[in-house]
Amino acid sequence: MPSSNVRIIVNGLVQGVGFRYYVYRQARSLGLTGYARNLPSGQVEVVACGEKGLIDELIKAVRNGPRFASVAEVYLEEINPVEKYKDFNIR
């Protein structure tokens, strides 16, 4: 499978509702590396690296979000990360 690296910016009610932990659990279960972090703008940034098909599964999960989140928009960008990630973390 081809590998991919993607940066995902999530808008909506995504801070203070367990969104990063939800993404963390999803990404770890898929064997992806990268991170999820809150941005000062109220958005959540996710960087995910791994097989393209698995990243597509993560993107579907991000669009749904956890129970108390409300995802309004998801922006995707293919990236070439400067850093190599050993696992998936919350920042």
- Active-site residues: which are they? 20, 38
Cβ-contact 69, 13 below 8 angstroms: yes
Query: What DSSP designation does 24 have?
Result: H
**How far, rounded to the nearest angstrom, does the alpha carbon of residue 70 sit from its chain's CA centroid?**
15
Nearest to 54 by CA among 5, 87, 21, 9: 5
Exposed (0-12), middle (13-18) or buried (19+): which is 8, by Cβ within 10 Å?
buried
